[in-house]
Amino acid sequence: MKKILILANLDMGLYNFRKELLEKLLKEGYEVHISLPMGPRVNDMIAMGCHYVETPVDRRGMNPIADLKLFFTYRKILKQVNPDVVLTYTVKPNIYGGLACRMAKVPYLSNITGLGSAVHNGGVVAKILMMLYRLSAKYASCLFFQNSQNLEFFKEQKAIAQNHVLLPGSGVNIHDYTYEKYPSKEEPLSFLFIGRLMRDKGVGELLEAAKNIRRDYPQITFDLVGFCEEEYQETFDALNEGNVVNALGQQQNVREFIKTHSATVLPSYHEGTANVLLESASSGRPCIASKIPGCMEIIDDGATGYVFEAKNAKALEDALRKFIHLSYEERKQMGVLGRLKMEREYDRKIIIDHYLREIGKVES
């Protein structure tokens, strides 16, 4: 039986966005091993039939000793599992897992899920990361990208593998995220944000815009679903003086929140591909998001939602006001068109087919 090893940094991400790929690999007869930190979704993947290797990964820390330890951990796991192919996701598994695979001469497919804050912020750390990517990603059997701008950046940095594929993000399970009936005309407008509460997600701009909107339309609500980064909590509390928005914390089932809201808002500074927008659009909800790679491709501006200049609270406010001024039927129609776009361009089956094709190339 052929073995596939998957290196990731978070159980929620692997389960929520790649569950269908795991199911397909198991169905095709592969022995699937997953390497990532313990979390609430690990047992669900074990129940599916995956073999689990607990692997501590500091997702955002830049401790060279911890990172070196992770590299040697991956080397050890490769010897133990002896996989035929390795799939890696997110920065540290891509870099240190890729380097370990390269040294062990094991074929690996890496998915660039986004550049991350460290690269976007520039400086010494960004240079080190791109140097490491040149040593790892460049030698992948296939390098998957989730938006064209990330692909071009890797080309400019000379960190591109000869075989690379542009995917429509992680796709969306259009059967899980079915079209949901739009909230009734009688209900007041409600906007939903889903994501970590942190500066780079544009939470500051959202709070500023929400204050102005609620001054004119006090019945409109803004709900924020997601974990507040510890270092941002004090800033968030200060910005949210007067409880302009409702912080609802991290939630297991975001579908229940998507279907009860009028639109999803994401004022992020950078994304790989914004899964919350894919899920919202698939559920028939208009999306209002930053005009950045990973968001702007998902939205047909003026048809399925609106895009606006990132890091600009006034631009966000203007986009929100445009949506508020639409008729009920126009808002509802935006959701319908968004759903059709997801069916046409972002069905997760597209991603699974790409993976099976590239795995087949490695094995042949």
For the chain, residues classed under CATH 3.40.50.2000 are 3-171+348-363, 190-345
What is the spatial distance between Cα 213 and Cα 220, in angstroms, rounded to a whole number? 8
Confidence class of residue 125 from pLDDT cuts 50, 70 and 90? confident
Mean pLDDT within 334-344: 98
Is 164:144 a contact under the CB 8 Å cutoff?
yes
Mean pLDDT within 238-243: 88
The size of the chain, in residues, is 364
Confidence check: pLDDT of 157 > 70: yes
β-strands 221-225, 190-194: how paired? parallel
Q: Which residues contact 63 (CB under 8 A, 6 or more apart)?
A: none
Confidence check: pLDDT of 263 > 80: yes
Confidence check: pLDDT of 120 > 80: no
From 9-23, 122-136, 337-351, the region with the lowest mean pLDDT: 122-136
Mean pLDDT within 284-288: 98
Is 325:47 a contact under the CB 8 Å cutoff?
no
The predicted structure's pLDDT at residue 43? 97
Task: State how far the alpha carbon of 310 is from the alpha carbons of 119, 205, 266, 270, in Å.
Answer: 17, 9, 10, 9
Mean pLDDT within 193-222: 96
What is the spatial distance between Cα 99 and Cα 101, in angstroms, rounded to a whole number? 5
Burial label for 287, CB within 10 Å (0-12, 13-18, 19+), is buried
Name which CATH class applies to 190-345.
alpha beta
Confidence class of residue 59 from pLDDT cuts 50, 70 and 90? confident
The predicted structure's pLDDT at residue 118? 66
The predicted structure's pLDDT at residue 329? 98
Mean pLDDT within 110-131: 81
Confidence check: pLDDT of 86 > 70: yes
From 95-104, 213-222, 232-241, the region with the lowest mean pLDDT: 232-241
pTM of the model: 0.86
Confidence class of residue 314 from pLDDT cuts 50, 70 and 90? very high
Domain at 3-171+348-363: CATH code? 3.40.50.2000
The predicted structure's pLDDT at residue 49? 98
From 17-26, 147-156, 284-293, the region with the lowest mean pLDDT: 147-156
Confidence check: pLDDT of 34 > 90: yes
